[in-house]
Amino acid sequence: MTDPIRLAKRVAEIVQCSRADAERYIEDGWVTVDGVIVDRPQHKVTDQHVAIDPAARLEAPQPATLLLHKPPGYDAISGVQPALVLATPAKHWSEDGSGVRPLRRHLVNLTPLVPLDREASGLVVLTQDGRVWRRLSEDGDEIEHEYVVEVAGEIAPWGLRRLNHGLSYEGRELAPCKVSWQSETRLRFAIKAVQGGQLRAMCRQVGLEVLAIRRIRIGRIPLGKMPPGQWRYLPPQERI
């Protein structure tokens, strides 16, 4: 048995490249050890079979954006139970059709965006991409969000009309939005610049109690059929 050496050194010998390039091949998921992808350059190998994917290529690292289905009880931005803890390989949705190759570095230095009440569920965004951050931060009030709200009680006269326009929250008049019945117990809100607690307050003003809230769209990005607690990538061609 040969002495253990760093995987990056072995790859550099195989490809005849610099140690820095070897580390990039490894971190980009192009290297297998006995048939298993290993993305840690410091991983030690001896007599194992080390192979480089024939399709391997060196590209500038691209920042990743994750779309997460936050379950109730998790804090979207910060708190004792941050939704960020769900950004793990095990929680990657098996039906992710983005075409993005999962890499370990995609799961670090993520910034959570777009607040969502702790007791609510639905779509949240975690990103490494400054362009996505600017879009959702600087232009956030112009982006429409869609929610399904489970309610109980009897709506007040003209209540649906007032939900669409005619309510206030925390001392300010709310801008018009689009609210419709999805079923006898579910309302669908299409709304911009929503604040924490606002949907519950709006429903309360027309005699309804909110039982559950789920965000199903941010801009042009739908939640789709992704299960709670799982995430997928935002592909480059998909715009918020």
How is residue 82 annotated by DSSP?
B
Q: What is the mean pLDDT of residues 188-203?
A: 96
CA distance linking residue 141 with residue 107, whole number of Å: 27
- pLDDT tens by residue, 71-104: 999 999 988 999 999 999 999 999 999 989 898 8
| Pairwise pLDDT comparison (13 vs 216), residue with the higher score | 216
Do 152 and 211 form a contact (C-beta atoms < 8 A)?
A: yes
The DSSP code for 53 is: -
Lowest mean pLDDT among 36-45, 79-88, 104-113: 36-45
Taking residues 220-235, what's their average pLDDT?
97
pLDDT level of residue 59 (50, 70, 90 thresholds): confident
Q: How confident is the model at residue 1 (pLDDT cuts 50, 70, 90)?
A: low
Whether residue 38 has pLDDT greater than 70: yes
65-140+221-233 against 144-218: fold identical: yes
Quickly state the pLDDT bin for 233 (edges 50, 70, 90): very high
- pLDDT tens-digit map of 110-137: 999 999 999 999 999 999 999 999 999 9
Check pLDDT > 80 for residue 25. Answer: yes
* Domain at 5-52: CATH code: 3.10.290.10
- pLDDT of residue 219 exceeding 70, the answer is yes
Q: Lowest mean pLDDT: which of 34-43, 53-62, 97-106, 181-190?
A: 53-62
User: Which long-range contacts link 5-8 to residues 24+ away (Cβ below 8 Å)?
Assistant: 5/44, 5/45, 5/46, 6/41, 6/42, 6/43, 6/44, 6/45, 7/31, 7/33, 7/38, 7/40, 7/41, 7/42, 7/43, 7/44, 7/45, 7/50, 8/41, 8/42
Domain locations in the chain?
A: 5-52, 65-140+221-233, 144-218
Range with the lowest mean pLDDT among 3-12, 130-139, 211-220? 3-12
Question: 144-218: what fold?
Answer: Alpha-Beta Plaits (3.30.70)
Q: What class has domain 65-140+221-233?
A: alpha beta
Half-sphere exposure (Cβ direction) of 63: Cα atoms closer than 13 Å: 12
Query: Which positions ≥6 away from 21 have C-beta within 8 Å?
Result: 12, 15, 58
β-pair partners for 70: 122
